[in-house]
Amino acid sequence: MNILVTGGAGFIGSHLVDKLIQKNHSLIVVDDLSTGQKSNLNPKAKFYQIKIQSPKLDHIFKREKPDIIYHLAAQMDVRKSITDPIFDANTNIIGSLNLLQNCIKYKTKKIIFFSTGGAIYGDKVKTPTPETALEQPLSPYGIAKLSIEKYVYFYFNQYKLPYTILRLANVYGPRQNHRGEAGVVAIFCHQLINNQSLYINGNGNQTRDFVYVDDVVQAGIKALPRAINGIYNIGTAKETNINQLARKLIQTSRKQTKIKHRAAIRGEQQKSCLSFQKAKTEINWRPGYDLNGGLQETWKYFNNF
């Protein structure tokens, strides 16, 4: 099939592109390289460097006529969304609407949207959190992701555009940008390589559900059939606090370093952990990596990069 991946030069998107090419699909990548890297691009994919909110997206759809869209392009910095919610909405919401409009105009067969689990549910939910939990996002980033989900459903209801929404836990692995606010594993790896202390915001008791990038890519592949419509959490159903994560990485790297704490970030979410039972039942997906195994693969990558 002819598949277009927005954000295909990014961390998750580039891994997804590689896997789809291995499966003999034709790939088109749309990425503005604001956070993605040219070095991540698969040479077998056709590449367009534009923003998803650009009117030029129409020309790409007209020329390429993609069957399937994987939508990963986003302004992904939660803190930036708080300081500049207009910029966040323009990229994430307006850009997504531009994409959806082109899907309808050029008769795309399906869209698969990579959303967020942790930033959508907020703190006032049970863990592991099911898809039926009340969404209470604490940031404009989470609000935008939830808004896009609602727009995706509108286009399904109004135009019969098949869709799958994947709500991701905290993804980590090779190619993650250590300059990215959300990539704590990559940040710690960078600090370890440079023999720096590991800095933790607040007391470090805030928890996250860490899911390895290869498992996320497998979920994306499972979502490809047109008949699969719905919202699925993609996580491990296991909480790890940031103190534990730091200790695990020190052990994995065999580095001698200190853990230091600094001021907490105001409004930071305190817990996140996703149930994957629906994905297990309906699309036959479950995580293949535990945290120790995933951290070993990730450290190997960063240590040899």
Per-residue model confidence as pLDDT tens digits over 126-182:
999 999 999 998 888 899 999 999 999 999 999 999 999 999 999 999 999 887 656
The three-state secondary structure class of 231 is: strand
For the segment 46-68, the average pLDDT, to the nearest whole number, is 97
Per-residue model confidence as pLDDT tens digits over 240-267:
999 999 999 999 999 999 999 999 877 7
For residue 216, the one-letter residue type is V
What is the rounded CA–CA span in Å between residue 164 and residue 142?
18
For the segment 226-253, the average pLDDT, to the nearest whole number, is 96
Q: Which of 121, 141, 163, 172 is catalytic?
A: 141
Per-residue model confidence as pLDDT tens digits over 86-106:
988 989 999 999 999 999 999
> Which ranges of the chain would DSSP assign to H, the alpha helix?
11-22, 57-64, 78-83, 85-89, 95-105, 118-121, 140-159, 184-193, 213-222, 242-253, 277-282, 291-304
Query: pLDDT band at residue 2, thresholds of 50, 70 and 90?
Result: very high
With 0-12 / 13-18 / 19 or more C-beta atoms within 10 angstroms meaning exposed / middle / buried, residue 181 is middle
172 is catalytic: no
For the segment 180-197, the average pLDDT, to the nearest whole number, is 89
CATH number of the domain located at residue range(s) 173-207+238-272+289-304 in this protein:
3.90.25.10
CATH number of the domain located at residue range(s) 2-171+210-236+276-282 in this protein:
3.40.50.720
What residue segments make up the domains of the chain, in order of their start? 2-171+210-236+276-282, 173-207+238-272+289-304
Claim: this prediction has a pTM higher than 0.85:
yes
Take residue 210 and report the two structure tokens written for it: 């860490």
